[in-house]
A = this chain, B = another copy of it.
Amino acid sequence: MALHTLNRAPADQSCVTRCLNALADNDALLLIEDGVYAALPGHQALFAALPDSVSLYVLQPDLQARGISEKVRDVFTPIDDAGFVQLACDQDKVVSWF
């Protein structure tokens, strides 16, 4: 099981697609930095093909900075920095997509 972090906004389709295609069963995805915009309702379709076993997270300070805390879909669990560390521990490895 791997934690994947994604820090690129949706217009970087190549990076976002690469990341999403790399997600295997029971992996976790954490959107960070500009990556958090993918949690907005307008990008729902990107995530349609993911296995149900993939868990979705988003870094709260990055949502807040960008003024979209109230706008993101609730399939994404907001976490803080401590939660990011915890996820990195819970999974076997961390893959950074940027």
Binding site for B on A (CB under 8 A): 11-14
Contacts and interface: CB of A to CB of B under 8 A. Distances in A.
Contacts of A11: 14
A7 B10 CA distance: 20
Nearest to A11: B14
Contacts of A12: 12, 14
Contacts of A13: 13-14
A39 to B, nearest CB: 19
A12 B8 CA distance: 12
A13 B12 CA distance: 7
A12 B11 CA distance: 9
Nearest to A18: B11
